[in-house]
Amino acid sequence: MDRLERTPPAIEARGLVKRFGGTVAVDALELRVEQGECMGLLGPNGAGKSTTLELLEGLQRPTAGTVRLFGLEWGKDAARVRARIGIAPQETRFHGKMTVSETLQLFRAFYPRGLPVDALLQLVGLEEKRGAYAMNLSGGQQHRLSLATALAGDPELLFLDEPTAGLDPRSRQALWDTLGSLKAQGRTVVLTTHYLEEARALCDRVVILDRGRIVAQGTPAKLLASLGGGQVIELVASPVPTPEVFADLPALRSLRLHSAGLTLHVAELQPALSGLLERVRARGLTLRSLSTREVTLDDVFLACTGHGLGEDTPS
Ligand SMILES: Nc1ncnc2c1ncn2[C@@H]1O[C@H](COP(=O)(O)OP(=O)(O)OP(=O)(O)O)[C@@H](O)[C@H]1O
């Protein structure tokens, strides 16, 4: 028996499909997450991230396909699977008249084994709020409490649906630190996010979904490298230049005309910028704005799908 047979993956989904009437939310998804891995699901609104998560969590039944967690199937071994996972949904409503500590005692009681309330409070940095009513916590503290409830059963596998949505940068960084230490403890983490920096900071692997399908996956570094690195130039000029004006630009990799102007992906900045300014002058164009930046995961997404991560899935 080889090592992989003895250590089943934390998650193995085969041919996963979820339909809601005529909408195919998840479309023939194949997914494997190794134990100890942190995997991020990225995609625009409506891409199927939450539905995928809920299928993996056993909260929804797939229309077709199978989900195995640690080699166990939801249909056959639900109790054993449930004891090994923790779920922090996109929104958690806590009982307003229960304190943080009482809330955690309640969640802890759902599991035959797990972490003591004090350890949970410490893990998420809520020790000082143990006596506060859950309804009086700030947004960031509520996210922390949600994470603590997901940790109550000391899970090996954590599912987090947009764990830092709506948080200010400081609270987000604090939660990233907590998630970093949970990863360091060897827990497997699957999270959905709209924040590219979050995926870069936390995830060993990123899966980009669009219309329920995987359009790209790999380490954040590998995904960025798939575009060949380089830089992006954003340009607005009047009159609006046609793409042909820059088609023979030195070091040009790709070019896209959109409502806000032109986006050019270039291998090297200096020759591209010199060539660009020459063409602007030669055509008598007036530059309205010009900026450059590193290639981001959004550019990878754009290259895969033709639309941006910040946009809704086109219907
Ligand atoms: N219970 C449901 N009934 C009908 N359609 C649904 C249901 N849940 C999800 N959908 C549809 O399935 C598709 C995928 O939705 P899902 O919530 O999984 O996307 P998402 O990527 O998580 O989006 P967001 O980033 O906005 O949370 C969407 O078209 C959505 O309208």
Could you tell me if the CB of 56 is within 6 A of ligand 1? no
Predicted pLDDT at 221: 84
pLDDT value for 225: 81
Question: Does the beta carbon of 49 lie inside 6 Å of ligand 1?
Answer: yes
Does residue 95 contact residue 103 with C-beta atoms inside 8 Å?
yes
Q: Which of 277, 287, 279 is nearest to 239 (CA)?
A: 287
- Of 4-13, 54-63, 212-221, 296-305, least confident by mean pLDDT is 296-305
Amino acid 301: pLDDT? 77
| H or E, element range at 226 | helix 220-226
For 22-53, write each residue's pLDDT tens digit.
Answer: 999 999 999 999 999 999 999 888 899 999 99
- What was the pLDDT predicted at 308? 63
40 lines ligand 1 (CB under 6 A): no
Q: 20 CA distance to ligand 1 centroid (A)?
A: 9
Which of the given ranges, 16-20, 139-143, 193-197, has the highest pLDDT on average? Answer: 16-20
Express each pLDDT in 99-124 by its tens digit.
Answer: 999 999 999 998 888 999 999 998 88
The DSSP secondary-structure symbol of 214 reads: E
pTM: 0.82
C-alpha of residue 102 to centroid of ligand 1, in Å:
33
For the cut 70, the answer to whether the pLDDT of residue 311 exceeds it is no
Which is the closest atom of ligand 1 to the Cα of 52? Answer: 18
Contacts of range 54-61, beta carbons closer than 8 Å, 24 or more positions apart? 55/13, 55/16, 55/18, 55/26, 56/11, 56/13, 56/31, 56/159, 56/190, 57/85, 57/87, 57/159, 58/82, 59/87, 60/18
